Amino acid sequence: MRSLLKPHNALISVFNKTGVEKLAKELTLNNIQIISTGGTAKLLEDNLIPVRKVDEITGFPEILGGRVKTLNPKIHGGILADRNEISHLNTLKSLNIPHIDIVIVNLYPFEKIKNNSKGNEKKIIEGIDIGGPTMIRAAAKNYEDVLVVVDPDDYNLIIEKLRAEKIDKEFRKNLAKKAFQHTCYYDASISEYFFEDSSKSSHLESPDNLDSSLFFLHLEKTKELRYGENPHQKGNVYVNLRHPKVPNILESQIHGNEVSFNNLLDLDTAYQCIKGLEKFACLIVKHNNPCGAAVASNLFDAFEQARKCDPVSCFGGIVALSHEIDENLAERLTDFFLEVVLAPAISPRAREILKRKKNLKIFVHNNLRYFKEYDLEVRQLVDCFLIQQRDFVRVLEKDCKVVSSRTPTSEEFKSSLFAWHISKFVKSNAIVFAKNFATLGIGAGQMSRIDATRIAIEKAKNNVRDLQGSVVASDAFFPFKDNIEEIAKSGASCIIQPGGSVRDEEVIETANQHQLAMIFTNFRHFRH
């Protein structure tokens, strides 16, 4: 009995009136009586569409400046009545309440009103829709008997279903899901306003965000990926609805095959890291770890120096660049198998050259939103979520303390800060050797710091990179002097690290014994 809906009455009350006349005309052609309110009713009447006004149904006028108009048993009874319950039907009949079979409602744009009201609390509060969400929730609850429509983009589909007489239960249930999502987001936006007003924000972009006991994630699926991290895992991309007009990384792709889950992880690391480098910079990422980075007087040389750090790992990697790619660099990039090229701009000729590589994914990130200092990152565990501030610490020379007997040279200090920045994006435990603003060897993701140190040295030697006079960055303190002894043997001359170990004195003394300069930053950069 409830499979197909045979509607007789439709209630229409919409703020966004796009396309509503077309739908209303179709309803009329299907002998469906339209009930409406205020501005919506006037629009329909102006388009010569027959309308029965709500107050004709309720026998009660709109009151309190429009705050109360649809909040009436004769409206909600018609929406909520169970058509399979004889007592419900008898009640409707005895009280002369019409069945309301279709509810077409969308809401006051609360967020827009809030953003445009410049702190005018009275205006903002009046932007909170009460009757609309109530009707939507009622109709969605009773989806077995009622069709609820909240999105103008669905109007054409409704018309098709009406003509085909295929408004079945599954269709109604799907629109009910959408309706509850709509009211959920709406209520969360209002809740956030009150949290913001009390200086205790509940969303992920406010200076006091970690003081909140509640958080809201406003996410919408924008892309279905082929799979997740592995082929047996599903994966999708969701964007933050709080920034619907902000270009995201997906929108910046101009060429190549479909981006993958892992590509996006690598792109995120590449983008964050390259934004923190000065002058002409290149970063190469593989498996979410930098495998080469350099800063040079031009972009071509920066790429060459970055690649030399680990030419093997560069294969199939992601190359991020700080400036426009010209045709010379484009030609050079096509000499290698790369997954992705990321740059703020690419010259027309360079684009032609890069596009010769059919599957090369090319991204132009000039319009991408960069993270605000107070953005948070969220990770889901099996049974809870972890939320933390992003690691935006940028250490400058003035923030550091030289703890060794030998003071580093100006060049050593500058190279150390470069290596320190790169280490922030290397999985812990992380060790980065660098010289002349180019990485020489990187040890990543090891369970012990000594292993990370030895791997970095070995990689440098295997790639014929001279460590003599190099600098070393460690993302966390050295727990034992063995790391310092290994570094001294490699030929490095300066170490930058957070400090903070119970064995700091022993570590510093070992550095002094080997004439190594040592810099403390007082900041740790674990990346798990």
Structure tokens at 467: 């460590």
Q: Please tell me the distance from the alpha carbon of residue 186 to that of residue 110, in angstroms, as a whole number.
A: 8
Q: Please tell me the distance from the alpha carbon of residue 437 to that of residue 414, in angstroms, as a whole number.
A: 8
Q: Please tell me the distance from the alpha carbon of residue 415 to that of residue 127, in angstroms, as a whole number.
A: 55
Beta carbons within 10 angstroms of residue 409's beta carbon: 13
Answer for the pair 376, 458: CB distance below 8 angstroms, yes or no. no
Structure tokens at 2: 């409830």
Structure tokens at 244: 């619907």
Rg (CA), the chain: 31
* Bridge pairing between strands 33-36 and 52-53: parallel
> Phi, psi at residue 93, to the nearest 5°?
-65, -45
Beta carbons within 10 angstroms of residue 444's beta carbon: 25
- Using CA atoms of 167, 168, 170, 171 in order, give the dihedral in degrees to the nearest 10: 0
Structure tokens at 485: 């002894």
> Phi, psi at residue 98, to the nearest 5°?
-75, 145
Answer for the pair 300, 332: CB distance below 8 angstroms, yes or no. yes
Beta carbons within 10 angstroms of residue 232's beta carbon: 7
Q: Is 333 exposed, middle or buried (0-12, 13-18, 19+ CB in 10 A)?
A: buried
> Phi, psi at residue 97, to the nearest 5°?
-105, 120
Structure tokens at 84: 């399979």
- Terminal alpha carbon distance of the chain: 56
> Phi, psi at residue 321, to the nearest 5°?
-130, 150
Structure tokens at 122: 């009275």
Structure tokens at 277: 């480098």
Catalytic machinery residues: 141, 287
Q: Please tell me the distance from the alpha carbon of residue 74 to that of residue 68, in angstroms, as a whole number.
A: 13
Residues 199-207: contacts with CB within 8 Å, 24+ apart? Answer: 203/242, 204/240, 204/375, 204/376, 204/378, 204/387, 205/242, 205/372, 205/374, 205/375, 205/376, 206/374, 207/374
